[in-house]
Structure formats: structure tokens, C-alpha cells
Amino acid sequence: MNKTIIKISTVFLLIFFIVSCDKSERKLDSVPSKYISVDEFKIHYKEYGKGEKTLIFIHGWGCDLNTWKYQFDHFKDQYHLVLIDLPGYGQSDKAEKEYTIDFFAQSVLKIISDIQIRKPVLIAHSMGLPVAIEVLKQLNNDSAMLCNIDGVYFDFPTDSIEKQQYKEGLSGFVNMFKGENYKQNVEQFCKGFITETTPENVSDYIFSTMTETPEIIGFQSMKSLINQKYWDKKIINNRTIAIYAKIAELSPDNENMLRKQFPNLTYIEMDGVNHFLMMEKPKEVNEILKEFMEK
């Protein structure tokens, strides 16, 4: 009888040990892939963890869900995490398709619907911000939250002449992402995110991932990004936090500009980082996010 009890206890201890190790040592690379279909287009994502809140990670132009590996490491045992490869990026399909902010948002909404997420926290970087804004517009969920990590944000002038000049400037930038110099221009674009303080692993990720973006996907994404219809300034009353890199290129009016659309805004600027601040200083960013989400 005692031997039987010892054997059973040993089995339970072994199971507990395996589960505990899996929980603490699980890395993003080892999380199984999942797919959903949107218009016969396969969208890749990874799902892990449990919790009342679901953190939905939306990457930027030229990137993939690995942008968020340090957030996965930090939050994996605290929340339900969903990390998405937007259409055309990462392991999602790259078939012939019009790559627009609408299509990206539709993919995120499909995952939210399929998994039946009740309290989503949208964590969006760069181009992911307008995607998250479109998701919130259609979601109509007061309990949803938005975490804007150095998000791209355009403020079109109201004056007709200034607006035309603004559009021409944006179009000129976007046209760099097509034609025979595409690869060279993307490399130059990437260099703008690298400084002497950028960790080597971050610069390696930026160059190895963004420069592999197929031209048609890269150009169409950028073209859609500057479409004025996505910048209608419809009021978003959901709790929002914006964390921006405090660099010379940042508008001195950035906070006030954002607050017009996001009245329930917490605004933070960080020193010593560039555009990929959630990879450059993950500990600080994660602590800010945690405090915001738990208020």
C-alpha cells in the first residue's frame, strides 16, 4: 500500500514539475502556430496563457509577431496572449491581394470573434496603430483598451492648400517603396531606426525582417497607411496609453494631437530609445503597460 502511494505521489510530483517548467521556460518560438481564414487567406497567430484580459499584439510595417517576444516572456504567466502576423507578414499568406488597413483590421476582428475575446487590450506598434483604431471603431466595446507603442499617426491639415502639400509629401515618401530601388530604400528606412545605443539583437531583427518584405506588400501597406479615410479623428473613448520615443523627429505637439482623438489618454515619452522601444527597453515598457492595465 505504501509503495503504491509513493508511486502515485511521484507521478504527481513529476507532472507538477513538467507543468511548472513548461510555464516558466516556454518561449514564443515553441508556442504552436494557429491559423484562421479571412477571404480564403490564411492568417497566422499564436495564443498562450489564461486570464480575464486578453493582450492582442499588432506589429508594424515589415515586421511580424516576433516583435513582441520580450512582452511574451514578461506577460505569459499573467494574461491570455494573442500575437498576430498581419496578412502578408510573418507566416501569414502572401498571396496576391490588396493589403490595406481595412484588411489588416478585419483579420484582427476575425480572431477576436473566433476566440470570443471579451476584454481585449490592443497593443499596437507603428503601423499597427491605425489597424487597432479601425478595430476599436468596429468593436464598440467599452471595456477594450489601447496601448499605442510609438504608433504612426497622421494629422491632415484642414486648410486645402496645406492639405494638398501634406498629401504630396506623404505620397513622395510612399513612392520610395516601389521600383528598382525598393530594396535599397527599405535598407535606408531601417537605418533610421538604428542609433549607437540600439542593442545589436534589435538592429539584427530590424534588418533581417523588414528588408525581406515583398515589394507589393510593402508598397500597398504604405499606400493604404496614408489614406486620409483612416485619419478621420473619430473620438475613441476607450482607455488609452501612448508611449513614444523622445527623439528630435517627434512633434512637440504630439500629446495634444493624440488627445483630441483619445480623450482618455495616458501619455509617456521615453529617453534613450528609438522606434522599437518595446525591444530596446522591454523591462521599462512592460512595467508601464502592466501598471496601466491594472489601474
CA distances from 239 to 134, 142, 172, 212 (A): 15, 9, 35, 35
Whether residue 107 is predicted with pLDDT greater than 60 in this model: the reply is yes
Work out the average pLDDT over 250-263: 97
Answer whether residue 48 is part of any domain. Answer: yes
Residue 84 identity? I
Number of separate domains in the chain = 1
Q: Give pLDDT, residue 18.
A: 40
- pLDDT for 30-54, tens place per residue? 999 999 999 889 999 999 999 999 9
- pLDDT for 146-189, tens place per residue? 999 999 999 999 999 999 999 999 999 999 999 999 999 999 99
Answer whether residue 139 is part of any domain. Answer: yes
Answer whether residue 11 is part of any domain. Answer: no
Whether residue 23 is predicted with pLDDT greater than 60 in this model: the reply is no
Residue 25's pLDDT band (cuts 50, 70, 90): low
Mean pLDDT of the chain: 92
Answer whether residue 217 is part of any domain. Answer: yes
Whether residue 15 is predicted with pLDDT greater than 50 in this model: the reply is no
- pLDDT for 186-243, tens place per residue? 999 999 999 999 999 999 999 999 999 999 999 999 999 999 999 999 999 999 999 9
Residue range of the domain that includes 236: 31-293
Whether residue 74 is predicted with pLDDT greater than 60 in this model: the reply is yes
Residue 89: which of 121, 135, 47, 41 has the closest Cα?
Answer: 41
Residue 96's pLDDT band (cuts 50, 70, 90): confident
Answer whether residue 197 is part of any domain. Answer: yes
- pLDDT for 111-156, tens place per residue? 999 999 999 999 999 999 999 999 999 998 999 999 999 999 999 9
Whether residue 17 is predicted with pLDDT greater than 80 in this model: the reply is no
Beta strands 240-245 and 145-149: pairing type?
A: parallel
Q: In CATH, what number is assigned to the domain containing residue 128?
A: 3.40.50.1820
Answer whether residue 18 is part of any domain. Answer: no
Q: Give pLDDT, residue 20.
A: 43
Cell numbers for 72, please give them.
Answer: 511574451
Q: Above pLDDT 70, what percent of the chain?
A: 92
Answer whether residue 210 is part of any domain. Answer: yes
Q: Which residues contact 58 (CB under 8 A, 6 or more apart)?
A: 84, 86, 104, 108, 122, 123, 124, 125, 128, 131, 132
Answer whether residue 16 is part of any domain. Answer: no
Whole-model pTM: value is 0.91
User: Do residues 56 and 122 touch, judged by C-beta distance below 8 A?
Assistant: yes
Q: Give pLDDT, residue 26.
A: 84
